[in-house]
Amino acid sequence: MNMGRNRIVAFYLVVALFLAGCQESKYERLVKTELARNVRYDSLFLGLSFNMPRKSFFEHCWNLNKQQVVTNGPGPLSVQHYLDSSFLAYPSYMRFYPEFAEEKICKMPVDFTYVFWAPWNPSMSADSLELRVKDLFEKWYGGEFLLVENKDRNARVWVKVDGNRRIRIFKMNISTVRADFVDLMNPANDKRND
């Protein structure tokens, strides 16, 4: 009698594990698969990278500024890079400033806006900019981005994971699109709210 009950329990356990595995999202499977590869992709853009020391970041940006590649952004902690219309259909700004853990870059939020954005100009809305940033990033970083939708929040995010580097692209507001670069292998990012 115990043997029959053990088989039934084992059967239900296998079914439960199977169903739990089916409920794992495509995104979660992608992250697990990429992290299991144990490959590092630290390159970000403009010669910046994960694990770049804070001092090196400032020196690098100083040199880029002297070459007129970047300028100070509109805020106190913002670096601004101008993209001409060949990148995103209209002249745009790419503004960024990293987050550091133990004095090294572990996360890089980047905001994109059109230079001449105006609320009465729908061709320069964040809706069109979001898709153009995604297309640009597919050229820069290769491959395709996965669309992840949260119907409860009426939000969508484009995601690409290469080894430790996760890139998310999403609309911040009516004029701005955010691209987040996160080092998934950096333990400091486990504690951050993404």
In a domain, 67, yes or no: yes
What average pLDDT does this structure show over 165-180?
96
20 found inside a domain = no
Residue 7 lies in a domain: no
Rg (the chain; Cα; Å): 21
Q: Give a yes or no: residue 176 inside a domain.
A: yes
Return the H-helix or E-strand segment holding 171: strand 165-171
**pLDDT score of 4:** 56
pLDDT digit string, tens, across residues 105-129: 999 999 999 999 999 988 899 999 9
Q: Which residue range(s) make up the domain with 181?
A: 25-190
| Angle subtended at Cα 121 by Cα 118 and Cα 122, rounded to the nearest 5 degrees | 120
Residue 18 lies in a domain: no
d(CA 25, CA 22): 8
Taking only the tens place, the pLDDT of each residue in 60-95 is 999 999 999 999 998 878 999 999 999 999 999 999
- Does residue 9 lie within any of the structural domains? no
Q: How confident is the prediction for the chain on average, in pLDDT?
A: 87
pTM of the predicted model, to two decimals?
A: 0.83
Supply the DSSP string of 48-106, one letter for each residue: -BTT-BHHHHHHHHHHHHHTTSEEE-SSTT-EEEEE-HHHHSS-EEEEE--EEETTEEE
**Confidence at residue 76, expressed as pLDDT on a 0 to 100 scale:** 76
pLDDT band at 23 (very low <50, low <70, confident <90, very high): low
Residue 11 lies in a domain: no
- Determine the Cα–Cα distance for residues 118 and 184; give it in Å rounded to an integer: 36
**Residue 17 belongs to some domain of the structure:** no
Angle at the Cα of 172 (from 171 to 177), degrees rounded to 5? 55
Q: Among 109, 115, 105, 85, which residue's Cα sits nearest to residue 95? A: 109
Q: What is the pLDDT of residue 150?
A: 77
Q: Phi and psi of 77, rounded to 5°?
A: -120, 75
- Cα 81 to Cα 112: distance, rounded to the nearest angstrom: 10
Structural domain total, the chain: 1
> pLDDT band at residue 24, thresholds of 50, 70 and 90?
confident
